[in-house]
Amino acid sequence: MAAIEPKAPEGGTMPGHVAIIMDGNGRWAKSRGLPRSAGHRRGAEAARGCVRAAANLGIRHLTLFSFSAENWKRPLEEVDELMGLLRWYLKSEIDELHNNGVRLRVIGDRSRLATDIIKLIEEAEALTSENTRLNLMIALSYGGRQEVVAAARALAERVSAGELTPDEIDAEQFQAHLYTVDLPDPDLIIRTSGEQRISNFLIWQSAYSELVFLNTLWPDFGEADFLAAIEEYQTRERRYGASISRT
- Domains and their CATH numbers in the chain: 17-143+184-234 (3.40.1180.10)
Nearest alpha-carbon partner for 13 in 137, 185, 186, 187: 187
Binding-site residue ranges for substrate: 24-28, 36, 40, 68-70, 72, 74, 191, 197-199
The conformation of residue 106, written as its DSSP 8-state character, comes to: E
The binding site for Mg(2+) comprises: 23, 210
- For residue 204, CA distances in Å to 17, 62, 135, 181, 207 come to 15, 17, 20, 11, 6
* Catalytic residue (one of 56, 71, 135, 220): 71
Rounded Cα gap, residues 217 and 223, in angstroms: 14
Q: Answer whether residue 244 shows pLDDT above 60.
A: no
Strand partners, 162: none
Burial of 174 (0-12, 13-18, 19+ CB in 10 A): middle
Measured in whole angstroms, the distance separating CA 211 from the mean position of its chain's CA atoms is: 14
CA angle 80, 96, 217 (to 5 degrees): 50
pLDDT at 5 over 70: no
Residue 243 has pLDDT above 80, yes or no: no
Annotation: binding site: 23-28, 36, 40, 68-70, 72, 74, 191, 197-199, 210
Q: Global pTM?
A: 0.91
What is the arithmetic mean of pLDDT over 67-83? 94
pLDDT band at 247 (very low <50, low <70, confident <90, very high): very low
Separation CA 60–CA 17 (nearest Å): 6
Check pLDDT > 80 for residue 6. Answer: no
Provide the edge-to-edge strand list for the sheet that holds 188-191: 102-107, 134-142, 61-68, 17-21, 188-191, 210-213
Tens of pLDDT, residues 100-120:
999 999 999 999 999 999 999
Q: Is 71 a catalytic residue?
A: yes
35-44 pLDDT, tens digit each: 999 999 999 9
Alpha helices by DSSP H, listed for the chain, are 25-31, 36-57, 76-92, 94-99, 115-127, 144-160, 171-175, 223-234
In the set 23, 185, 187, 225, the catalytic residue is: 23
